[in-house]
Amino acid sequence: MTNVFLIRLESPIGRIELLGDDIAVTGLSIERDGALPHDDEPEHSNPLLEAARVQLLEYFAGSRTGFDIPVRLVGTPFQEAVWAELERLGWGEATSYGALAAAVGRPGSARAIGGAVGANPVPIIVGCHRVLASDGRITGYSGGDGIPTKLWLLGHERIGFAA
């Protein structure tokens, strides 16, 4: 059995909870309505999660534009294909649900893409906030407080969007 580790950190978008094991970050949750999924559990850190904490704090401070910590994204083959495309996006780069659908060989499946994007287990590090509608609008965000959280992340990375 692999050890499971948990840490929390403060951020401009609320508290963040990181889960991981000895090899990779496996989950990132942003506080919603004052709560995190594992608030009732004590922190149990390891060097990998401490490195992730440092990188996230640097990201929020504006001194880091990319992450180099290992993540493990476990889902369906379709979700994993979508998440692999999200991992290719860098700081300040945006894409659309339609472009993601085309990239994974499923043109016309933007709605299914939205579901996969929303199920991303490691947001921010795997930048699902960088996905917009084809006309540049913000259509939703499943992390933190939803659209206000996405607006903050887009503004932080200077990603333009349509009102």
Residue 19: per-residue pLDDT: 98
Cα–Cα distance between 66 and 32 in angstroms, integer? 25
Percent of the chain with pLDDT over 90: 96
pLDDT tens for each residue of 94-140 = 999 999 999 999 999 989 999 999 999 999 999 999 999 999 999 99
pLDDT tens for each residue of 35-66 = 999 999 999 999 999 999 999 999 999 999 99
What is the number of other CB atoms lying within 10 angstroms of the CB of residue 90? Answer: 11
What global pTM score does this model have?
0.95
Interacting residues of 78 by C-beta distance below 8 A, sequence separation 6+: 104, 106, 112, 116
101 catalytic residue (yes or no): no
Q: pLDDT class for 2, splitting at 50, 70, 90?
A: low
Instruction: Name the token pair of 84.
Output: 């692999």
Residue 163: per-residue pLDDT: 80
Catalytic residue among 82, 128, 153, 154: 128
